[in-house]
C-alpha cells in the first residue's frame, strides 16, 4: 500500500489471516487474524509498527480499516490476486489444548516480500510466525537492526527445519511455546531446551507456557513471570503473537535493551495477551486504551510483589 516514507521503529512480518475458530462456547468464521495482525495491534499501543504481509482479493476492507484505527503503518501490506491465508482451529474444553483443523497458505505460498524503503532502517524487527524462508527474506533486507526477535510453530519445525535453524542462528531472541521448544530441541526439560537454543545463536529465549506464564532464559540467568489471570477466556488465539507484539513494541518505545527494560517488556506482553483472549479476533484490543493496559500492569505488579 502507498509508500509515504514514514519511518517506523518496529517492523513486523507474519501471517495475515482469515481464521475460523471453534471453542466449546462459540464458532467464529473468517475473522481477522494471523500472527502479524495480533502482533502489530499489540505493538501499536506503544510504538509505530509497520506491517509486512500479503492479503488476497477477498480480504475485507473492514480489516484494513481496523489496522488503520490501530495506527499501524501499512506500506508493507500487499494485496494480490488470490485468496487470503486461512487457518482453522478448535479448542478443547480447558481452552489450552488446540487442534489445527486446516491451514491454507493461499497467497502466502508465492509471497516474496520487498520491504518499503522506509522500513529498511527500522531498529527493531519481529519475525512473527510464518514460513522461515519468508522470515529470512525480510531479515536480509533490514540494515543493521538493533534487535531481532522471531516466533515459529510446530508446522515449520516439522516441514522447514533447515531454514528455521539458519534463522535461529541470526536472531537475538526466539519466542516459542513449551511444546514447540520440546519438539525443536528434543529436550523435555524446558530450561535445558532453552539453553540448547542459546547454543544455536540467540542471546535470549522466551518460552511461553499459556496460562502458566512465560520464562526468559539468557546466559546471565532466568526470569519467570506468571500469566495475568483472566476471568473469562473467550478465545486464546493470538495470545502468543500479542505477547510478542507487546514485548517488542515496549522495547522499541524505550529504545533500551537493559535487564530492566526486558523485564518490563515481559510484563507488557503478558498484560496485552490477557486482553486479547477476552474476545475473538482483535475485538478486545480494538476497544481498550493504553490507560487500560497501564492499569492492568499496575495490578499485575501488585499481584507478583514478593
* Residues that bind ligand AMP in the complex, under the rule CB under 6 A: 15, 17, 19, 33-35, 87, 103, 129-130, 153, 155, 237-241
Name which of 118 and 157 has its Cβ closer to ligand AMP.
157
Residue 114 C-alpha cell reads as: 520487498
Note whether 238 and 251 are within 8 A (CB).
no
Whichever of 17 and 49 has its CB closer to ligand AMP, that residue is 17
Nearer to ligand AMP, 19 or 73 (CB): 19
CB of 90: closest distance to ligand AMP in angstroms?
13
Cβ–Cβ < 8 Å for 237, 225: no
Shortest Å distance, C-beta 189 to ligand AMP: 23
Name 196's Cβ contacts closer than 8 Å, sequence gap at least 6.
Answer: 185, 187
Are 37 and 105 in contact by the 8 Å Cβ rule? The answer is no
Instruction: Name which of 123 and 240 has its Cβ closer to ligand AMP.
Output: 240
Q: What cell does 56 get?
A: 488476497
Min dist. Cβ of residue 144 to ligand AMP (A) = 27
d(CA 153, CA 65): 28
91 vs 118, beta carbon nearer ligand AMP: 91
- What does the CA dihedral 263, 293, 176, 181 come to, rounded to 10 degrees? 70
Which segments of the chain are extended strands (E)? 10-13, 17-22, 27-33, 49-55, 73-79, 85-91, 98-104, 124-127, 147-151, 173-177, 204-208, 214-218, 221-225
Cβ at position 29, least distance to ligand AMP in Å: 13
Q: How far is the CB of 258 from ligand AMP (least distance, A)?
A: 27
519438539: which residue's cell?
Answer: 183
Distance of CA 121 to the CA centre of its chain: 21
Q: Name the minimum Å distance from CB 99 to ligand AMP.
A: 12
Burial 91-100 (b: 16+ CB within 10 A, else e): beeebeebee
Q: Which is nearer to ligand AMP, 70 or 87 (CB)?
A: 87
Number of H helices, E strands in the chain: 10, 13
Least distance in Å: CB of 239 to ligand AMP? 5
| Rounded-to-integer distance, Cα 3 and Cα 232, Å | 41
Give the residue with the Cβ less far from ligand AMP, 118 or 228.
228
Measuring CA to CA, which residue among 145, 150, 281 is closest to residue 204? 150
Nearer to ligand AMP, 73 or 241 (CB): 241
Give the shortest CB-74-to-ligand AMP separation in angstroms.
Answer: 18
Amino acid at each position: 500500500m502507498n509508500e509515504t516514507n514514514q519511518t517506523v521503529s518496529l517492523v513486523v512480518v507474519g501471517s495475515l489471516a482469515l481464521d475460523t475458530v471453534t471453542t466449546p462456547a462459540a464458532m467464529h468464521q473468517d475473522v481477522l487474524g494471523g500472527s502479524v495482525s495480533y502482533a502489530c495491534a499489540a505493538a501499536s499501543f506503544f510504538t509505530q509498527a509497520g506491517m509486512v504481509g500479503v492479503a488476497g482479493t477477498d480480504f475485507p476492507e473492514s480489516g484494513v480499516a481496523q489496522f488503520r484505527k490501530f495506527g499501524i503503518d501499512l506500506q508493507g501490506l500487499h494485496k494480490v490476486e488470490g485468496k487470503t491465508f486461512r487457518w482453522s482451529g478448535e479448542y478443547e474444553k480447558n481452552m489450552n489444548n488446540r487442534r489445527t483443523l486446516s491451514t491454507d497458505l493461499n497467497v502466502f505460498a508465492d509471497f516474496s516480500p520487498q520491504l518499503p524503503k522506509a522500513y529498511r532502517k527500522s531498529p527493531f524487527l519481529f519475525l512473527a510466525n510464518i514460513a522461515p524462508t519468508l522470515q529470512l527474506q525480510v531479515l536480509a533486507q533490514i540494515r543493521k537492526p538493533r534487535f531481532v526477535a522471531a516466533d515459529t510453530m510446530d508446522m515449520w519445525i516439522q516441514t522447514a527445519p533447515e531454514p528455521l535453524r539458519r534463522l535461529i542462528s541470526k536472531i537475538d531472541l526466539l519466542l516459542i511455546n513449551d511444546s514447540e521448544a520440546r519438539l525443536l530441541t528434543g529436550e523435555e526439560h524446558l530450561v535445558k531446551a532453552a539453553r540448547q537454543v542459546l547454543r544455536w545463536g540467540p542471546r535470549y529465549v522466551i518460552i511461553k507456557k499459556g496460562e502458566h506464564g512465560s520464562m526468559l532464559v539468557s546466559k546471565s540467568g532466568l526470569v519467570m513471570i506468571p500469566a495475568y489471570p483472566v476471568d473469562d477466556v473467550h478465545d486464546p488465539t493470538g495470545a502468543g503473537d500479542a505477547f510478542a507484539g507487546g514485548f517488542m513494541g515496549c522495547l522499541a518505545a524505550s529504545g533500551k535493551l537493559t535487564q530492566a527494560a526486558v523485564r518490563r517488556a515481559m510484563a507488557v506482553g503478558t498484560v496485552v495477551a490477557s486482553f486479547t483472549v477476552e474476545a475473538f479476533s482483535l475485538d478486545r484490543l480494538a476497544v481498550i486504551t493504553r490507560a487500560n493496559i497501564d492499569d492492568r500492569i499496575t495490578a499485575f505488579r501488585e499481584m507478583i510483589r514478593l
